[in-house]
Structure 1
Amino acid sequence: MYQTQRFVNVIVSQLFGEYIYRMLALMTAMIFLTISNSSFALAPNPGANLACPASSTKGIFDNSNYTKLKESFDTNTYQPMTSTSSLSIPLKIKMTIEDINVNTSGNNTTITGTSANPAMDINRNFKDLTSRSDITLDFQNTGNSDSLYLNNVAISAFDIDKSIGSNKTGWDDLVSITGITRNNTKIKGTFQRLSGSSVIELANGLQTSSTNASFNCTAALDTNCQGSVLFSEDIRSVTFSYTNTNNVTTPTSQRFQFRVDSYCYTPQYTFSGIVFNDNGGITDANATNANITTGPYANNANYFNGIFDSATPNAEAGIPSSTVELTHCTNGSVYGSQLVDGSTPTIGQYKINVPITTISGNTNNLCLVEKNNNTGNVYTIRTNSNKKVIAFANTTYHYPDNNFGKVIAANVALVLKKAQYINNCPTTLNYTDPAINTSGNNDPRVGFSSASINDLVPGQCIAYRITATNRANIVISDFVMRDVLQKKGVNGAQVTSVLANPPLSTTDYNAAENPAIGANGEVKTRTLTINARNNRVFYFNTKYGTTANP
C-alpha cells in the first residue's frame, strides 16, 4: 500500500507539474493575444485619410483636447482646441449634453481610453424607452467667436452594443450622428465601414448587427462596437444622439464614447453689420418736428448721421425685412447673402460667412449691398449708401460694422417750411425786418405766416419765405430749391402770378436761370450746401392778377 501510495504520489506530482506548465503557457499566450488585440482595439476612421480641399488645412485632434472638452462641459464655455497640424486652426469648441428623461443620479461624464487614444466617455442612467442624451460639439472661431465651419470632419463612436434580458431590460444602443451646415440644414454623417466592426447603419442610426441577445464590448474603444462617419460638407456643429432601439423597454445605466478623428479647415471671411433706424432715438410722434434749437432734434448727435448708435441716451435700434448680399461690385455676382434677423435682441443684424475659395480672385472687387424686402416700404429714406465697397486684406478675416442706416419719411433730414406775407409790391422790401418776422404770427397781412390767405386785393403781392432746415448730422450737398409760379389754366389755377420786386438775391439765385421781374416761370436757387444741423432761408416776391385765392 505504501509503495503503491508512493507511486501514486509520484504520478500526481508529475501531473501537477504538467498542469502548471500548461497554465503558464496558456497565460503567456493570453498575454500576447491581449497585446495583439489591444493594438487593433481602435480602428482608424477611413474618412480621416481623405485629403483636404485646396486652400484648406488638415487638423488632427490633439489628445490634450479631451481634457478641454471635459472642462468645456463642466463650465459651459468654449475652449480653444489644439491640432497636430503645423498650421494654426482658430478652433474652439463647446460641448453640451441635453439629457431627455434621464435619471438625475448615476450619471457621469469622463475621459476614457489611454493616453495615446483618449475619448470622451458618457455614462447615463436611462429611465425608459424615451430616454435620450444629445451630445453637441459647437465650433467657433477663436478670433471673433463666429461660427467656424469645418469640412471632412471624421468622427468615431464606440461601445455601440447590446445586452437584452428576457423581460427586455438592459440596452440596445442606437446612435445617430448629425451636423449643421451653412444653410442651417441638419445632415447625417456618411457611414464609414470598418473591418472587424459589428456596427451597421440603418435609417434611424448606428447599431450593432449582432443577432445575439448579448453582444457587450467591455473594453474601451473596442473595434467590434465602433461606428465611424465622415461629414464632407461644411458644418458648424456635430450632435451625437444616443438612445435605445425598440428591443428594450426597460433600459439600465448605459455608456457611450466618442473621438474626433480629424477635420479640414478652409479659412473663411466674415462680413457683418446691422440695418438700423437712424432716428437718434426720436419717436415717430416727434418725427416732423423741424426745431433744431429745442426739442428732440436739438443737440441730438445720433440722428441721421449714418452711424449706428446703440448707447443711451438717444439709442437706435435695428430694423427687419432687409437682405444683405456680398457681391462682385461690377458684375453683381452674389457670393453670399442673409436675411437680417427679425426679432430682438439681434433685430436687423446680419453675418455672412464665406470660405476663401468662394471669393478667390475677386477680393479686390467686393461690395455689400442692402436690399429692402419690406412690401410696406416704411423706411424709405437712406442715411448712407446701400452699397459698401470692402477694403479687403488677405490676412483680415472679419469685416464688422458694415451698417446701413434708414429712416421713415417723417424723419427725413431736410424739412422745408413755407411762410407768406401780403404786401403792396414795394420796389424794396426788407425780408428780414423783425416787424414782419414775428414768431407765431397767424396774420399774413401783418408779416410772414403759415396761415392761409383769403380775399387778396388786386395788384397786391405775396412774398414767400422758404426755410430749408437740415436736421441731420451730415451735410446736405447739391441742394436746389424750386418753386413753380402758378399759371392760369395750368393745374386748375385761376390766375397767373409773376415775379415781383425786389430782385432775387444773387447769392442764392442765378438771374439767368430765373424769370425776369414781371414774368411767370420757375423760381430756382443755385446748387447749394446746407451744413449739418443748420438752415438756409430763401425769399422771393410774386404779384397776382386778380383777387382769386392764390
Structure 2
Amino acid sequence: MRQFQNYLNAISVYSYHRYVIQTLILVSFILLTGISTHQAHANFESTDSSAVAACPANHKMYYIGANAPTSTQEFPVVSLPLNWTAGNTSRNFTFTEASGNKIFNISFSSIIEKNNVQGAPPFYGSINGSTSSAINLVHDSTSTVNNHILNISTNRSVSKAGYKIQDVDSLTSSVIVGYFFGFPIYEDRTPYAEQVDVSANGGRLTFNSLFHTANNPAPNTSVVTAIEGQNCSTGECDIDASWGYKAANSVLGLRHNNTINQTSAPHAVGYSNFYFCLAPPKVLVKKVLAGNRVNDSDTNRDQFELSINRGTTVVNAVTTTGSGSAVTNNNNRNAVSIAENTSYTITEKVINGANGTTLGEIANYNTSYTCTNATTGSTTVMPTADMTYNAANKTRSFTLSNAAFGDEITCTITNTPIDNYTFTGYVFNDNGGIVENNSTNLDTNTKYDISSTFTGNNNYFNGIFDSSSEVGIGTTAGLSVSLTDCKGNNISTVAPNSNPQTQLNSPLGQFKFTVSASAIANLTTKEVCLVQVEPDPWTFSVDTTPNIRKISLVAGKFDYKTDGSRNLDFGEVKANYASLVLIKSQHVNDCDINANYDGISFSTAEINDIEPGRCIAYKIDAYNRGHVDLKDVQITDELRQTPVKSVFRLPYPKASSSSVYDNTESLPTGTIVSKIFNLDKPTGTSATKATLYFNTKYGTTNGSNP
C-alpha cells in the first residue's frame, strides 16, 4: 500500500492537454494503476433555405460571438460580443433597436460532474487544443449520464437560430490492469464518448464522419455521438446546431451526454457563434363573411379578391371561393414578405358572374378589419383607420406601413351583407319518397302497412326534408307561411312556390322572407316565428312537424334556413301515410272467456250472422311506423247502440302496458277511452306497438239490453 501511495503522489499532476487525465483506478482484487499514453488528436414558418450557420437571403442575422459575418444588403448582420461570468448559468443578450428590443437568452441547467480546474463551468474563453472563444463546460467522466442541458430562446419568432458546438469527441486511454513479475500490464479503456442531442425541439446538426456517428443522414441529423476513441484538436470536429422557424419565446434545447465510461478522465465542450434570424416583416390577409353573400346563385355569386399592393405593383392577390357564408381559399395561404419601413395598401373588391370575372359592388357589404402582430415587443403600430371606399374602382382599402423585421401581421377583413335578414324553408311531403298508390284499395292497404316499406325507410315521416327523395308541396289555396314576432303580430306572409319553372332560384315548395334589418331591430325580443296556415280541408292532413317554428336571432347572423342547428321546414303527409296505424281485430266468444286475453286468436275478418246474446272481444293495436316519437296518443272506441245495443262485458279491459290502460275493477259505459300515452319511433325494422283489449256483449232484440 505504501508503494502504491508513493506512485500515486508521483503521477497525480493534472495534465490538461486534450483533457487526458493520468490517474489510478481500482479494477480488480489487486490494486491497479492507469496512465494515459495516447497523444491528443484530435448548425411564420419560413420555408426559405440557407447555408449552414447562415440566415436565408434578406433575413436579418443577430450574432453573438467573436467572429461576426460581414453585413451586406442581402445579408444584414448586427452583433454583440459573447461575454460570460464564470459559474453563472443564464444570461440575456439584448439588441437595442427602434423597432423594439430583441432579447436572446442562453441558459444551462442540470449541470453535473463539474470539473473546476480551469474555471467554474460554464466559463468563457479558449481551452488549448480544444475550444476557441466559447462558453465552456468541463465534466468529470464518472458515469454514462446527461452532463448538462443548454437552452436558447428569443423574444421574437425566428426564421432560424443556432450556434457552434466545439470538441465533441472521445478518448482511448491505455490503462495498467495488473503486473506480471513486476512489469505493468496495459489495456485500452474509454473514459468518455460525448453525444449532443437536439431531437426534442426539431433541431438539426452537422457532423464529421471521421469523428462522429449520426442518428439520421443530413439534413435530418438530430443526435450526434462521438466515435469511441476518436479524439480531435481545436476546430477539427465542430458541429453546427440549428433550428428552423420557431414562435417567439420557444425554448430550444440541447442535451449533452456521456455515452461510455470504462475509466475516469475529464472532458470539455464549448459553445460559440450564437445567432438567430428574423425574417422580413410578413403579412397574412384573411376574409370573414358575417352572413350570406348578397348574390349567391350559380351564375352570379359574389367572391372577394384580396390584394397586397406596393404603390401600383400588386405584391400578392387571391380570390375567395365558397357559397353562402362559407369562405374558402380565404387568405394568402403563405404569409407574404414585405419590405421594412415601407407603405403597403391592402385592398378588397367583389367579383362575380359564372366565371368570377365581373366587377361586383363591395358597397353591398359593411366592412371592418383588424390587424394583429404575433410578435411580442414590436413597436410597429397596427392600422385602425376606417377602410377607404373608391367608387370608381368599387374597392375598399387600408394602409399598412413601418413594419419591422420579425413582424408577423394578420389582417382579417369582415364583411356583413347590408340591411336584410332572410328566412328560408320548405313545405314538403314527408313520405320518404314512397310511391303513392292511386287505386282506392291499394291506398287503403297503404294506410295499414306496417312493413319495412315504411319502417325501413329512414326518410319517411322523420320531420326532415330529405331532398334526395322527397319533394316540396306547392301553393294550394289557403296554404301560407307567416313571419311573426311570436306574439301574434304579423311581419310578412308568403305562399310556398308552386312553379319552379318560372322561379329558377326558388324550388317547389320553398318559401323565403327578405326582411329589412330595421324591422327586426324593432322587435322587443330577439326571436321571430314562422307559422304555417293550412287550408281546410287539405289533402295533406297529417303534420310531421309543428306548425310553428321559433327562431332565436344570433348577433351578426342575417341568413336563417334549415341547417344542423335548426329546422325551418314544415312536413306533411296524406292521411293514408300517417305514422300512427290503428288495426282493430275481434274474437267471437260465448261470454265465458277467461279473465286473460292472452292466447286468443283475434281476426280482422268481417263477422257475419252473430247470434244475439253472444260476446265479441276486441283488440286495438296502435303502431308507430314512422321515424319520430308520437306524443299524447289516445284510443277511444264507442260501442254500437242500434239496431242492437251492446255493452262492455267481463273480463275487464286491459292493455299491453299500464301506461295505455289501467286494469280496473269496473267496466266502461258506452265508450272505452285509453290513457294518453307515447309511442316511440322504431329502433329497427319493426313498428313499435301498444295494444288495448276489451270484451262486449250484444243484446237479443233491437234496442234491448243484453
Q: TM-score, normalised by structure 2?
A: 0.38
Q: Which has the higher helix share?
A: 1
Point out the structure with max Rg over C-alpha.
Answer: 2
Query: Larger relative contact order (C-alpha < 8 A, sep ≥ 6)?
Result: 1
TM-score, length of structure 1 as denominator length? 0.47
